[in-house]
Amino acid sequence: MATFLGAIALLIIGYMVYGKFVERVFVVNDDTPTPAYTKRDNLDYVPMNWWKGNLIQLLNIAGLGPIYGAVAGALYGPVAFIWIVVGCIFAGGVHDYMSGMMSLRHGGAQFPTLVGKYLGKHIRTFINVLSLVLMLLVAAAFTAGPAQLISQITPISFIVALSLIFGYFILATVLPVNRIIGRIYPLLGGILLIMAIAVAVALVFSGKQLPNLTLDSLHPANLPLWPLLMVTISCGAISGFHCTQSPIVACTMKKETDGRKIFYGAMIIEGIIALVWAAAGMAFFNGTEGLAAALEAGGPSGVVNEISTSLLGTVGGILAIFGVIILPITTGDTALRSSRMIATDILSKFMNMDGKMKVLLVTIPLAVPTFYMATIDYTFLWRYVGWTNQVVATVMLWTAAMYLLKLHKQHWIAGVPASFMTGVVCTYIFYAPEGLGLDYNLSVIIGATLTVPVVLWYAAQIIRHRKVKQKNSGLNIA
């Protein structure tokens, strides 16, 4: 129990100390008018209170990610706590804060636009495609599961359930952000928090042995941590999906000092939720072997349902069903909204994209392939979400590092986790079954070989910007 409670305490301290440090590095200024006012269109740019922004951001980035991912990550043992805490504070929090605040500073710009500005147009072209693919994969994967469950517990068929969900998706995508998202999401975000708190309290008083981090119980020897853990637990530590969602809330912020509470704060809350479910997965099934058997028998939804029902009774069962149906839907609709905003940003360079009808015309072509992918096996889709997701996170961290480097600020807060995540994605694609499926040791060697030139490029950028700074200082003195 000491490990679990200590991990939660470290996340809270991380928000207060390191989150504040990151904010000081960025340098906020409440005298600068935000895009919610300067570009107000009552569709995407609408001022909202910070607490609404925080809960909307939490629901956008969370869904079932910190629940399902944490339960699966619990198979790696108590070492999962380390990754959640360290990843959340030093990688995920920085990633989410920088993506949100950079969007704010650039007039509500979408993630690919930021990439193009700081990493070049070629990387932007690649990331335009990759981010849209990620959005559509997430929307499809987070729709298939709820539709299947609805068809199982009601007379509604899978296709009808899927059609109803997508009808809602289109409404949520084309309506002003304060109509559905701004009104309902804060409530749903609150329910997500209540669910996690209830499970945590019940778990502490259940009498079950909560896992503690020791050298003997660090992790099962049959599961290599690197890089699988960092992809399995993404939403509770660092997730590229978040940087595609941050502009939605950045377009609604009233002032810059709200950024830490909204972006870094939502990431910390998500980390706490992930800790709760990782601990529950290990404790409730008496270790990783019991959890593995439960996952094989009922999948993550079955595990979540069993934990919730056993710890919280009927209320827990209702919360579990609510979570499995509602939470992924609320992630899927904002994924589609983000893809609409990204696609509109791309097309606006070639044509005028103002007007609600044109917004709808962008949304429909995105919804059609997403609907089709949702009819494909859910587990097949999810295998490809993980790696794509972490590649996007890595690119966002490098974008943030170049932004800070250009301004001669402490770029290492993004550069160090970017280097780490480069190693993760370069190794994972060669080792994972959905990748090339190579030998583990060979995959690690190839991953390291590919990471080295990226780090050397980063070092070269640091040297170049230092020379520019010294040159400019010399000109100022002269």
CATH number at residue 112: 1.20.1740.10
Evaluate whether residue 178 is within a structural domain: yes
DSSP-derived secondary structure for 127-179: HHHHHHHHHHHHHHHHHHHHHHHHHHHSS--HHHHHHHHHHHHHHHHHS-TTT
Lowest mean pLDDT among 135-149, 255-269, 446-460: 135-149
Residue 257's CB: how many other CB atoms inside 10 A? Answer: 13
Evaluate whether residue 416 is within a structural domain: no
Evaluate whether residue 463 is within a structural domain: no
Lowest mean pLDDT among 88-97, 257-266, 300-309, 432-441: 300-309
Evaluate whether residue 470 is within a structural domain: no
CA proximity to 115, closest of 244, 234, 19: 244
pLDDT one-digit tens code per residue, 116-134: 999 998 888 888 888 777 7
Q: Is the pLDDT of residue 186 over 70?
A: yes
Burial 226-250 (b: 16+ CB within 10 A, else e): ebbbbbbbbbbbbbbbbbbbbbbbb
Evaluate whether residue 476 is within a structural domain: no
Q: Is the pLDDT of residue 353 over 60?
A: no
Domains in the chain, number: 1
Evaluate whether residue 232 is within a structural domain: yes
Structural domain including 132 reads 2-400
Better-predicted residue by pLDDT, 477 or 246: 246
Per-residue pLDDT, averaged over 309-313, amounts to: 84
Evaluate whether residue 428 is within a structural domain: no
pLDDT one-digit tens code per residue, 6-27: 999 999 999 999 999 999 999 9
Per-residue pLDDT, averaged over 436-455, amounts to: 95
What is the per-residue pLDDT for 167? 84
Cα-Cα-Cα-Cα torsion 30, 32, 38, 42, nearest 10 degrees, comes to -20
Distances in whole angstroms, Cα of residue 289 to Cα of each of 170, 214, 218, 293, 294 = 42, 17, 14, 6, 9
Mean pLDDT across the chain, nearest whole number? 85
Evaluate whether residue 114 is within a structural domain: yes
Per-residue pLDDT, averaged over 88-115, amounts to: 95
What is the per-residue pLDDT for 21? 98
Better-predicted residue by pLDDT, 241 or 136: 241
Predicted TM-score (pTM) of this structure: 0.89
